[in-house]
Amino acid sequence: MNPRQSPTHCYSKMGVSVMHFKRLIFALLFLLIAIRTAAAQSPELENRLSQCVAMVNDMMTAPDSSVPKDLLKRGQAVILFPSVIKAGMGLGGQYGKGVALRRESQDGTWSPPVFITLYGGSFGWQFGVQSVDLLILVLNDVSLKNLFRDKFTIGADASVAAGPIGRDASAQTDFQLSATLLSYSRAKGLYIGVSLKGCVLEPDWEANELYYGSDLSIVDIFFKKVGKVSPQGKALINLLIRYAS
């Protein structure tokens, strides 16, 4: 130590260094958070949300075959799968990635999207390859609460029926509403022997953690509406509000 410098002066200089060090640490943390946020809104997940926006818009506006808006209003949740791939030749399989959003019946708002996967296998007479846009309406509160409990199997944990189409179809087909899930699909390609029964719905854990961070649970996102939503996520929510208003 320089004899001309007092201990107080040295401690003061050390304090300045510590302060700069802390600022550097905070700056690095902020940078890491920014990088993580950018990664959370990765092109793959944003593309999935963008595909859902296009799918909903097409299926809600299709002439004479649209999803009835009053059924969308009555739904507890909507599950969207753009481009579910189905293939089979005796043995069949299907797989898709999508999102699920819950509708608040009191004010008509929607939860942030929860990323979800669908997969299933089947045995029987079937042949072909097909890409399917799939929209599933959840009508029953019990099925809604069970949606993210381990594995949710369509046909076992909830009954499913093909949803009625057209503006007045839902009023004319109330018998179908005994089903807790209504499915709507738009297919490309040839496939004979299509069924959702036995398909499993599971949260896409990796995608949800990437999008929202590891500190948020599915329950927080889906039921408590917690989580920062990207531009495409907001566009999807606004579109659902528009069609279910």
Q: What is the DSSP letter of 76?
A: S
Q: CA distances (Å), 244 to each of 17, 75, 86, 227, in order? A: 58, 9, 30, 22
pLDDT attached to residue 8: 46
Q: pTM for this one? A: 0.75
Can you tell me which residue has the tokens 């018998």?
175
Mean pLDDT throughout 217-238?
92
pLDDT attached to residue 28: 45
**Every domain of the chain and the residues it spans:** 1-40, 42-243
Please give the residue that has the higher pLDDT: either 62 or 30. Answer: 62
Task: Categorize the per-residue pLDDT at 169 as very low, low, confident or very high, splitting at 50, 70 and 90.
Answer: low
H or E element, residue 223: helix 218-224
